[in-house]
Amino acid sequence: MRAVVEKICDGRILVIGDVLLDRYFSGTTARISPEAPVPIVRVDNTIERIGGAGNVAANAAALGASVTLVGQVGDDADGAQIEKVSLSLGIECGLVKSAGYSTIVKTRVVSQGQQMLRIDFEQLPGRGESNKVHAEFASHLQNCDVVVISDYGKGSVGEVEKLINEARALGRFVIADPKGVEFSKYRGVDLLTPNLKEFEAVVGDCSSDEVLIAKARSMLNELAIAAILVTKGPLGMVLVEDNSHLTVAAEAKEVFDVTGAGDTVCGVLAAFISAGSNISNAVAYANKAAGIVVGRFGAATLTLEEIRKFDIPSEAKTGILELAELKNILDDSKAKGDTIVMTNGCFDIVHRGHVGYLSDAKKLGDRLIVAVNSNLSVSRLKGPNRPVNDLEARMEVLAALKSVDWVVSFSEDTPEALIAEILPDVLVKGGDYVATEIAGSEHVIAAGGKVEVLGFHEGFSSTDILNKLGEDA
């Protein structure tokens, strides 16, 4: 993931949600009030931070991502303070300032490191103001990679379904941090991030991770959601995708203040996904980050320098991958110094000769990619009766081989464009080719790689197998 960390500064994130001001009065307590049995706090310091959706934006911006914050504030001093703090953090503001609406403020009184009292000032915005927020959101949607919907249930996030549909129509990755029990309004998001209490309020008691995973998978199917991350505080996190799940233990060594920990998770997730990370690796970093911020005062953030120090084990996903996910994994593999080998073919009927050839290819490096012709590509090359096995079946067989790390498909007659995207260290082809005549070879050589030609294992041929089958028939 090291290569992805360095790409965070290229990420573009749009955060929309309920924006509020976190104000902290801190001081010493030495006596009890004579007016009532309450401690007197002599205030000697005031801290003001942006909270709610603002804290999500602050966490992503602290890592170097380009962040735009959309939400509603009052046309008042507190709203102006939110804008001032946001700009000081490098956050672009798309704040709707509404006359007659008071900015939401959470005021905390703190003494000797302990929160003694919280006072909330809030009112729900009017319907027309929510429409203005939506229009502001739409005006920034073209210039982002990831959208975060940070719903605190304060009313700024109206017509969530419409926000999601607009973002997905432009191919944006959508993260939603939900509120309330109507999760159906988050239909179609890429990642939903409820905490355990919020999740159980919708699906019922989850007595074990197995029950939680089953209920999450049911929700995925029902609401067309790609992934659900259930955060469980000191019990860690559980990520559930369609065909897999990941249980992550909590990282916190000492819990000082849980304020804003969920915002940190969303902000870090957005930063890593905008940089090209897959969800599981982004979750690993978000979990580490949350474990640190709960040991700090108030709604805290982490710096990119701190993130770089995280020791995240590399557990690269293997098997059948889309090109975007493969490129992300390759960045990490190359950063570790792995030598990437790549070959290609139709692999219509995989036989002993193929197995031997792929084993020989793997010996030329650390990781082997096999690029496979699509069904239409095979038909154009081999004739209308081919392939015998469709693309999915061919890729599954190859992915099961011990020598093969990753399988990816291509639709053109040659893999030249794919090879130019991947740029392996070693490009391999079987047969009697001249190295410089192999599709994609010029791109590999220009990038400092090499091209190898391996002989086929004699006595094995897909055509011979098909001919024999025809004779037997």
Catalytic center residues: 263
- The answer to whether 430 and 368 are in contact (CB under 8 A) is no
Helix or strand holding residue 166 (H, E): helix 160-169
Amino acid letter, residue 283: V
Give the Cβ contact number of residue 15 at 10 Å.
35
Q: Is 416 exposed, middle or buried (0-12, 13-18, 19+ CB in 10 A)?
A: middle
Give the Cβ contact number of residue 328 at 10 Å.
23
Helices first, then strands: H and E counts in the chain: 17, 19
From the list 71, 73, 98, the residue with the least C-alpha distance to 15 is 71
Task: Round to whole Å and give the CA distance between 75 and 102.
Answer: 7
**Cis ω on the peptide bond leading into residue 34 (within 30° of 0)?**
no
* DSSP symbols for 56-84: HHHHHHHTT-EEEEEEEEESSHHHHHHHH
Ramachandran assignment for 17, one of left (phi > 0), alpha (psi -120 to 50 degrees), beta (any other): left
- The answer to whether 452 and 364 are in contact (CB under 8 A) is yes
Task: Round to whole Å and give the CA distance between 453 and 364.
Answer: 11
From the list 172, 165, 169, 166, the residue with the least C-alpha distance to 188 is 165
Provide CB contacts within 8 A for 291, sequence distance 6+.
250, 251, 252, 253
Ramachandran assignment for 67, one of left (phi > 0), alpha (psi -120 to 50 degrees), beta (any other): beta
Task: Round to whole Å and give the CA distance between 141 and 170.
Answer: 8
From the list 25, 90, 100, the residue with the least C-alpha distance to 57 is 90
- The answer to whether 370 and 398 are in contact (CB under 8 A) is yes
Provide CB contacts within 8 A for 95, sequence distance 6+.
19, 69, 70, 71, 72, 73, 79, 82, 83, 86, 136
